[in-house]
Amino acid sequence: MRKGMKVVVENLTGALFYIEVKNDATFEDLKREIEAQEKLPSDRLIFVLDSGECPIMSKEDENLSLLDSGIQDGSHIYLFF
């Protein structure tokens, strides 16, 4: 059984990539994974969520759990940097 989730990330150019994180991951964890995989500076990443819950995630939201923000396996996140 998988103990994580895979989210779809779309950047400004429309390119899609997938990031896998643990179920208890925070936005900080997600930023670190994106930095490692895509070579983008984690301190410059801003997320717009594809849900009505909390539309924009920034530096102040880094310690929020992805699950608590409505992100689950297969969720789509828009990335700005």
| pLDDT in the model for residue 57 | 66
Q: Is 67 strand, coil or helix? A: helix
CATH number for the segment(s) 5-80: 3.10.20.90
| pLDDT in the model for residue 1 | 45
| pLDDT in the model for residue 62 | 82
| pLDDT in the model for residue 81 | 81
| pLDDT in the model for residue 69 | 84
Model pLDDT for residues 10-63, shown as the tens digit of each residue:
998 999 999 999 999 999 999 999 999 999 999 888 888 876 555 566 667 788
B/e letters for 17-45, b = 16+ CB within 10 Å, e = fewer, are eebebeeebbbebbbbbbeeeeeeeeeeb
- pTM for the model stands at 0.84
Nearest to 6 by CA among 19, 25, 24: 19
Would you kindly state where each structural domain of the chain is located, as residue ranges?
5-80
